[in-house]
C-alpha cells in the first residue's frame, strides 16, 4: 500500500536502449525500466504521459509515442526545446534515466468501439496520436474508418517518415500529409499537400458520420482545427484534444497545469471539446 | 568524462567575482580535479588566452578598448561565454554615473588630462557580444557559481529561479523594511538568489543582483514616491548597480 | 464538573508536559519584532496574545524549500531521510487549523505525498481561540469554528478551557490531568468578525467576476513579490528543480514554494506561456483560492486569516471584488 504510492512519487530507474533521430531537433528514445517485472507490468492507455527524469536536469512530462513493446520498452518522442530535453539529447544508449507514471486519462478508446476515428496531428503532436494509431490498428476490427491527417512545418520536420510511408500503403486506413511550406523535395514515397492542417481538412474527403476526432498539436492549432471540425458537423463531445501544459508533478499537486478548474495532468491531458468550451485560456 | 576547459577572466571590475570563486575553499580541490583551468590570470601566473575553451567566465564591465578586445577574443574562442557577476550582466557599480558627462567624470577622478584616457561608459557584455549564461550578483553567491560549474560538467547550465528578493525574504520571515519601516528597499525589483542576505540583518536591498525579469518598475516607483522619496533619490538608488532601467515597465 | 480548565499560571508546567510528547513550537516574536511560529525554548518565548504569524504553519508540513530526492548512478533517485522528530505546534488559531485541514485534503487524499505525510504524522496541533483584527474575516468564509485539532484551548480571563479533537489529544490531556482544575464558566460566545457572507454567496455561484475592472488595476499595481502566496496558509503550488553536483554524477532535486502570480508559473519548455500577463495570473489565483482545482474543486480555500492583505506592499486585496458585488 505505502510502496504503491511511493512508486508514483519516486522515479524508477530506466535505461536508454535506443535512439532514432527523427529530425534536426527531435529524437525517438526507446527506454526500459531496469526492473524487468515492473517493465512488463506497465499498462498504458494511448494518450497517457510519463514523467521522465534526466539526472541533474530534472523532470519533464512526455507523452508515450507508442504502446509498451513486448520487452516493456517505452518510446518517447522528444524535441530539444528546454533544459531537460537538451540534456536528454546528449545521452547515448546505456545512459541511466528514470520514469514515473504513466499518468493522465488517455483517449477513451473503449467508448470509441464501432466508430470512425479521425486523427489530426500538428508537428510534435504526432507523438501521442502515434500510440493511439498503434492501438487502433492493433484492434482494427473494433473501429470503423481510420484517418490520420498530419501537418508539419516543412518536409524535413515530418517525423516518422518511414512509418508514414508504410502506413500510406495500408488499405485499412487513410493517410494525408501536409507541410506549411516546401523548401525542398518532399521525402521519397510520401504524397504531401502544401498548406496548414485546417486547409487539408477541407480539401480531402473523410467520413464525418459516427466519427470521433482526436487532435494534438502546438497551442495555436487547436482553435482553428476545432472550428473547421465543427463546420463539418462534429459535435463538441466527439472532438478530443490532447493538451500540453507545464505539468511539474503529474499527480494533481503542484498546481501549474490547471485549465479552468480542471487539471491537465489528472483530468486530462485528453479533454472533450465540450468540456473546454467557454473555459478561458483552454485553447 | 573529458575535463571541461575553462577560462576565468576579468575586465573593468574589482575581481570580487573571481575572488568569490577562489573563496569556495572546500570545493577548490574538486574543481581543480574536474576542470582544466586553462586561463585564469588572477589565480594562475602563467598563461595566455589560447583556447578553445568550453566556457569562459568573465567578470566586469566593458569600459576600455582593451576590455573589448579581451572579451571578443574570449567570445570567439569559447563555446559558452558566461557573464560572471552584476557588472558583466548589467554594468554594475562602475556604470552608476553613465548618465553624466564622461569627460567631467574622468577629470574629477584623474585630474586635468584625465579625459584623454582611452575609456568609455562601462557597459554590460550584451551590448557587444552574445552571452550564453549569466551568474548575477555583486559578488555572485557561491552556490550559484558551483551549480553552474557542476552543470557545465554535463555540458549544460542550471535553471535558477526568476523571482525577486522579497520571495526569499518573506520565506525567511524577515521584518519587511519596505512595509514596516517605509524604507527604500529594492527587494521587489531585484533578482533573488542571495537568500535576502541584507534584509535578514536589517539592511535594505540595495539591488546588487540587478533587475528581476518581471520587475514592475512603474508600480514600485509609484510606491516609493507615495512613501515620500524624491525621484532623484530613487533614481540614484536604482542606478547603483544597473544604469538602465525602464521606468515604465510594469511586467 | 469536568476537569478541563488550565489556569494561566500553569502554562510553564503545561509546556513541560507537552515537551514529553515532542519539540514544542508556537507563536513567538523574533528580534526584529516579527511574529512567527518557532521553537519555544522557555515559557517567556511564548506569545499567546499574538495576532497572526508572518508565515502560516504550512512551513511545518511543506518547507519553503526542501530536497525531495537525491540521485546517484548506482542507487537512482532516493528520498533523503524524512524528519524523525515529533513537533507539538501550539496556539494555532482556527483559521490556521482550517488551512492545515485544506492542505491535508490536497496532499493526503487522492495522491498522498510521502514528504507531506511523513511530516504530518509527526505534527500535533493545539488550537487557541482568537480575537479578530481589521485584516481577518474567518467567519465570512466559514473557518471561524475550530476543527482539525488534537487539542483546543478556549481562552477565558483566568486561563483556558481545553477540549480534545483526536485520540492523540486525549492521550496528551490525560498526561496533563494534574494541571487541570474544574471548569470556569466560558466566555459567553467567541467573538465573530465580519458577518457578511458575500464571499460564500459568490463562490457558491461559481462567480469569477470576468468584467470587473479590478483585475487590470491589480495587475498594474502588483509587484510580483510573491508575499501573498508565501504567507497564505493554503497556497501550496510548488516548483521542482534539479541540480547536478560537482562529482559530475549525482544530483539533488528540490521543491520550493511557487507563486501563480509569477510569470514563470505558466511557462512550458521553449518559452510558451499559458498565462502571459499578470491579469490572467490573477484570475488563475482567484480561481484556485475561491473555486478550487482538481481534487479541491468546489472547495473554498481562503480561511480568512488576513495575511495576504497585511503583507502586500501595494495593498492589493482580492476582497474588493466581493465588496463590489454587494
Instruction: Supply the DSSP string of chain A, one letter for each residue.
Output: -HHHHHHHHSPEEEEEEEEEE-SSSEEEEEEEESSHHHHHH----TT-EEEEEETTTEEEEEEBSS---TT--EEEEEE--SHHHHHHTT--TT-EEEEEEEES----GGGGTTSEEEEEEEGGGHHHHHHHHHHHHHTGGGSS-EEEEEEESSGGG-SSHHHHHHHHT-SSSEEEEEES--SSPPPTT--EEES-HHHHHHHS----TTEEEEEE--HHHHHHHHHHHHHTT--GGGEEEE-----SSSSS-S---EETTEETTTT-SEEEHHHHTT-TT--
Contact flag B216-C313 (C-beta cutoff 8 Å): no
Domain boundaries, chain C: 3-193, 199-325
- Mean pLDDT to the nearest integer, C247-271: 91
Return mean pLDDT, chain A.
90
Q: How far apart are CA A283 and CA A227, in angstroms?
A: 11
Please tell us whether the domain made up of A2-103 is placed in CATH 2.40.30.10.
yes
Residue C4 has pLDDT above 80, yes or no: yes
In this complex, do B214 and C247 lie within 8 Å of one another by their Cβ atoms? no
DSSP annotation of B56 reads E
Per-residue pLDDT of chain A (283 residues; tens, 9 = 90+): 333 344 568 999 999 999 999 999 999 999 999 998 888 888 999 999 999 999 999 999 999 999 998 888 999 999 999 899 999 999 999 999 999 999 999 999 999 999 999 999 999 999 999 999 999 999 999 999 999 999 999 888 999 999 999 999 999 999 999 888 776 666 666 777 888 888 888 877 777 889 999 999 988 899 899 999 998 889 999 999 999 998 999 998 988 999 988 999 999 999 999 999 888 888 8
Indicate where chain A has its CATH 2.40.30.10 domain(s): 2-103
- Give the whole-angstrom CA distance, residue C152 versus residue A82: 50
Chain C residue at shortest CA distance from B4: C248
**Are the C-beta atoms of A44 and A128 separated by less than 8 Å?**
no
Percent of chain B with pLDDT over 90: 85
With an 8 Å Cβ cutoff, are A55 and C275 in contact? no
ipTM reported for the complex, 2 dp:
0.92
CATH architecture of A109-276: 3-Layer(aba) Sandwich (3.40)
| Res. B120: pLDDT tops 60 | yes
What residues of C are in contact with residue A104 (Cβ under 8 Å)? none
Q: How far apart (Å, rounded) are the C-alpha atoms in residues B238 and B189?
A: 9
pLDDT at C188 over 80: no
Answer yes or no: is pLDDT of C187 > 80: no
Count Cα neighbours of C165 within 13 Å in the Cβ-side half-sphere: 17
When pLDDT is cut at 50, 70 and 90, the band that residue B137 belongs to is very high
DSSP strand pairing (A146-152 vs A174-179): parallel
Q: How far is CA B38 from CA A75, B2, B43, B55, in A?
A: 41, 14, 11, 10
Predicted pLDDT of residue C195: 47
- A158 with A164: CB under 8 angstroms? yes
| Residue B200: C-alpha distances to residues A46, B111, B164, B169, C130 (Å) | 51, 41, 15, 7, 30
Q: What is the pLDDT of residue B140?
A: 98
Among the partner residues A58, A219, A252, nearest to C240 by beta-carbon distance = A58
Hey, which residues 247-266 in chain C have their CB within 8 Å of chain B?
247-248, 256-257, 259, 262-264
Of C55, C241, C247, the CB nearest to B173: C55
Residue A216: how many other CB atoms lie within 10 Å: 29
Q: B82 pLDDT band (50/70/90 cuts)?
A: very high
pLDDT in tens, C196-206: 577 888 888 88
Q: Do C230 and B176 touch (CB under 8 A)?
A: no
At residue C184 the predicted structure's pLDDT band, cuts being 50, 70 and 90, is low
CA distance C41 to C22: 12
- In this predicted structure, the answer to whether residue C245 has a pLDDT above a threshold of 70 is yes
- A245 with C274: Cβ contact below 8 A: yes
Q: Say which of A10, A13, A262 has its CB closest to residue C79.
A: A10
* pLDDT value, residue A5: 40
Contact A49, A103 (CB under 8 A): yes
Q: Which segments within chain C are labelled E, that is strand? A: 3-7, 23-29, 35-39, 65-72, 76-78, 87-92, 123-128, 151-156, 159-164, 181-182, 238-244, 251-257
- Chains in contact with C via at least 3 Cβ–Cβ pairs below 8 Å: A, B
Are C32 and B223 inside 8 Å of each other by CB? no
Distance CA C73, CA A131 (A): 31
Helices (H), C185-274: 198-204, 214-221, 227-230
CATH code, residues B5-152: 3.40.50.700
Q: How far is B37 from chain A (nearest CA, A)?
A: 23
Under the banding of pLDDT at 50, 70 and 90, the label for residue C35 is: very high
Interface probe for A, chosen from C66, C76, C115, C278 (most Cβ of A below 10 Å), is C76
pLDDT digits (tens, 9 = 90+) for B165-209: 999 999 999 999 999 999 999 999 999 999 999 999 999 999 999
Query: Inter-axis angle of helices B217-226 and B231-239, to 10 degrees?
Result: 130
User: Does B250 have pLDDT greater than 60?
Assistant: yes
Whether pTM > 0.90 for this model: the answer is yes
Test the B interface: residue of C225, C231, C245, C280 with most B CBs within 10 Å: C225
Amino acid at each position: 500500500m505505502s510502496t504503491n504510492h511511493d512508486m508514483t512519487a519516486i522515479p524508477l530507474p530506466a535505461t536508454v536502449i535506443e535512439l532514432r533521430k527523427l529530425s534536426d531537433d527531435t529524437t525517438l528514445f526507446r527506454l526500459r525500466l531496469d526492473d524487468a517485472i515492473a517493465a512488463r507490468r506497465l499498462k498504458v492507455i494511448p494518450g497517457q504521459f510519463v514523467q521522465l527524469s534526466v539526472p541533474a536536469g530534472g523532470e519533464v512530462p512526455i507523452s508515450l509515442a507508442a504502446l509498451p513493446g513486448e520487452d516493456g520498452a517505452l518510446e518517447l518522442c522528444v524535441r530539444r526545446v528546454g533544459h531537460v530535453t537538451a540534456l536528454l539529447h546528449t545521452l547515448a544508449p546505456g545512459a541511466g534515466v528514470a520514469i514515473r507514471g504513466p499518468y493522465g486519462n488517455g483517449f477513451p478508446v473503449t467508448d470509441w468501439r464501432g466508430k470512425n476515428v479521425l486523427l489530426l496531428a500538428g508537428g510534435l503532436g504526432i507523438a501521442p496520436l502515434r500510440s493511439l494509431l498503434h492501438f487502433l490498428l492493433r484492434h482494427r476490427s473494433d473501429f470503423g474508418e481510420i484517418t490520420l491527417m498530419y501537418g508539419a512545418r516543412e518536409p524535413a520536420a515530418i517525423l516518422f517518415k518511414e512509418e508514414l510511408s508504410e502506413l500510406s500503403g495500408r488499405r485499412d486506413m487513410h493517410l494525408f500529409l501536409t507541410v506549411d511550406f516546401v523548401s525542398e523535395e518532399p521525402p521519397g514515397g510520401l504524397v504531401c499537400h502544401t498548406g496548414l492542417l485546417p486547409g487539408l481538412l477541407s480539401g480531402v474527403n473523410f467520413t464525418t458520420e459516427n466519427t470521433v476526432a482526436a487532435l494534438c498539436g502546438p497551442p495555436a492549432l487547436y482553435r482553428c482545427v476545432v472550428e473547421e471540425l465543427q463546420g463539418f458537423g462534429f459535435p463538441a463531445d466527439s472532438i478530443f484534444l490532447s493538451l500540453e501544459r507545464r505539468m511539474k508533478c503529474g499527480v494533481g499537486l503542484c498546481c501549474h497545469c490547471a485549465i479552468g478548474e480542471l487539471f491537465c495532468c489528472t483530468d486530462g491531458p485528453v479533454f472533450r471539446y465540450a468540456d473546454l468550451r467557454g473555459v478561458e485560456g483552454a485553447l | 568524462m573529458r575535463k571541461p576547459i575553462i577560462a576565468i577572466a576579468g575586465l573593468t571590475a574589482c575581481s570580487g567575482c573571481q575572488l568569490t570563486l577562489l573563496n569556495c575553499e572546500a570545493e577548490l580541490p574538486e574543481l581543480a580535479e574536474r576542470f582544466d583551468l586553462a586561463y585564469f590570470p588572477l589565480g594562475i601566473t602563467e598563461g595566455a588566452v589560447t583556447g578553445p575553451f568550453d566556457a569562459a567566465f568573465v567578470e566586469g564591465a566593458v569600459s576600455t578598448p582593451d576590455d573589448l578586445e579581451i572579451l571578443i577574443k574570449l567570445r570567439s574562442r569559447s563555446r559558452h561565454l558566461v557573464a560572471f557577476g552584476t557588472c558583466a550582466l548589467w554594468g554594475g557599480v562602475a556604470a552608476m554615473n553613465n548618465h553624466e558627462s564622461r569627460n567631467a567624470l574622468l577629470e574629477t577622478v584623474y585630474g586635468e588630462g584625465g579625459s584623454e584616457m582611452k575609456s568609455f561608459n562601462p557597459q554590460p557584455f550584451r551590448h557587444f557580444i552574445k552571452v550564453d549564461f549569466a551568474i548575477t550578483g555583486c559578488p555572485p553567491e557561491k552556490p550559484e557559481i558551483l551549480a553552474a560549474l557542476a552543470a557545465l560538467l554535463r555540458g549544460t547550465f542550471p535553471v535558477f529561479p526568476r523571482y525577486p528578493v522579497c520571495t526569499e525574504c518573506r520565506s525567511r520571515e524577515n521584518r519587511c523594511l519596505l512595509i514596516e519601516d517605509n524604507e527604500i528597499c529594492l527587494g521587489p525589483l531585484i533578482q533573488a538568489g542571495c537568500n535576502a542576505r541584507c534584509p535578514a540583518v536589517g539592511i535594505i536591498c540595495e539591488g546588487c543582483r540587478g533587475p528581476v525579469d518581471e520587475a514592475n518598475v512603474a508600480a514600485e516607483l509609484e510606491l516609493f514616491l507615495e512613501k515620500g522619496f524624491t525621484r532623484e533619490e530613487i533614481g540614484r538608488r536604482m542606478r547603483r548597480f544597473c544604469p538602465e532601467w525602464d521606468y515604465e515597465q510594469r511586467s | 464538573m469536568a476537569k478541563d480548565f488550565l489556569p494561566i499560571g500553569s502554562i510553564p508546567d503545561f509546556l513541560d508536559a507537552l515537551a514529553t510528547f515532542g519539540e514544542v513550537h508556537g507563536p513567538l516574536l523574533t528580534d526584529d519584532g516579527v511574529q512567527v511560529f518557532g521553537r519555544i525554548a522557555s515559557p517567556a518565548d511564548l506569545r499567546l496574545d499574538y495576532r497572526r504569524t508572518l508565515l502560516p504553519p504550512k512551513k511545518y508540513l511543506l518547507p519553503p524549500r526542501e530536497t525531495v530526492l537525491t540521485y546517484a548512478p548506482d542507487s537512482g533517485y532516493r528520498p533523503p531521510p524524512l524528519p524523525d522528530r515529533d513537533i507539538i505546534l501550539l496556539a494555532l488559531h482556527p483559521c490556521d487549523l482550517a488551512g492545515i485541514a485544506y492542505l491535508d485534503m490536497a496532499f493526503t487524499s487522492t495522491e498522498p505525498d510521502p514528504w507531506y505525510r511523513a511530516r504530518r504524522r509527526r505534527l500535533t496541533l493545539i488550537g487557541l481561540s482568537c480575537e479578530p483584527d481589521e485584516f481577518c474575516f474567518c467567519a465570512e468564509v466559514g473557518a471561524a469554528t475550530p476543527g482539525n485539532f488534537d487539542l483546543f484551548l478556549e481562552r477565558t480571563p483566568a486561563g483556558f478551557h481545553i477540549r480534545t479533537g483526536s485520540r492523540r489529544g486525549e492521550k496528551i490531556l490525560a498526561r496533563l490531568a494534574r494541571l487541570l482544575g474544574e471548569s470556569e464558566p466560558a466566555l459567553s460566545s467567541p467573538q465573530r468578525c465580519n458577518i457578511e457572507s458575500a464571499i460564500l454567496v459568490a463562490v457558491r455561484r461559481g462567480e469569477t467576476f470576468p468584467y470587473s475592472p479590478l483585475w487590470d488595476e491589480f495587475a498594474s499595481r502588483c509587484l510580483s513579490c510573491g508575499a501573498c502566496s508565501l504567507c497564505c496558509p493554503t497556497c501550496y503550488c510548488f516548483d521542482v528543480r534539479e541540480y547536478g553536483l560537482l562529482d559530475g554524477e549525482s544530483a539533488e532535486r528540490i521543491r520550493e514554494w511557487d507563486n501563480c502570480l509569477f510569470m514563470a508559473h505558466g511557462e512550458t519548455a521553449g518559452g510558451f506561456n499559458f498565462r502571459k500577463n499578470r491579469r490572467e495570473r490573477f484570475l488563475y489565483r482567484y480561481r484556485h483560492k475561491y473555486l478550487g482545482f482538481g481534487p479541491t474543486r468546489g472547495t473554498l480555500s481562503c480561511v480568512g486569516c488576513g495575511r495576504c492583505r497585511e503583507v502586500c506592499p501595494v495593498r492589493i486585496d482580492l476582497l474588493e471584488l466581493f465588496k463590489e458585488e454587494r
